[in-house]
Structure 1
Amino acid sequence: MAITPATLADVPELVNLINSAYRGESSKKGWTTEADLIDGQRINKESLEQQIADPQAVILKNTNNEGLITGCVYLQKQGDKVYLGMLTVSPTLQANGLGKQLLNAAEDYTRSINCTAVTMTVITTRTELINWYERRGYSKTGETIQLVIPEQFGSLKQPLEMYIMEKAV
Structure 2
Amino acid sequence: MNNPSISPATEGDVSILNQLVNSAYRGDSSRRGWTTEADLLGGIRTDDESLKAMLDNPLATILTYRMADQLLGCVYLEKKGDSLYLGMLTVSPDAQAGGIGKQLMAAAEEMARDWQCRTITMTVIPQRTELVAWYERRGYSATGETKPFPMDDPRFGMPKVPLSFIVLEKSVS
In structure 2, the partner of 1:75 is 77
> Which whole-Å deviations, capped at 9, do the CAs of 1:29-62 have from their partners, x for residues lacking one?
0001100000001110011001001001000000
In structure 2, the partner of 1:112 is 114
1:142 maps to amino acid? G
Higher mean alpha-carbon deviation, 44-53 vs 143-152, is at 143-152
Moved over 3 A (4+): none
CA distance in structure 2 between the aligned counterparts of 1:131 and 1:152, rounded to whole angstroms: 26
In structure 1, the partner of 2:29 is 26
- 1:162 deviates by 1.3
> What does residue range 78-89 of structure 1 map to in structure 2 within 5 Å?
78-89=80-91
2:96 to 88, 94, 97: 94
1:103 maps to amino acid? M
Is residue 82–residue 117 contact of structure 2 (8 Å, CA) maintained in 1? Answer: yes
- 1:153 deviates by 3.3
Q: Which runs of 5+ in 2 are unaligned?
A: none
Identity of aligned residues (%): 54
1:122 maps to amino acid? V
Is residue 44–residue 154 contact of structure 2 (8 Å, CA) maintained in 1? Answer: no
- Compute the TM-score of the two structures, normalised by the length of structure 2: 0.95
- 1:95 deviates by 0.8
Q: Which runs of 5+ in 1 are unaligned?
A: none
1:36 pairs with 2:44 = no
CA RMSD of aligned residues (A): 0.8
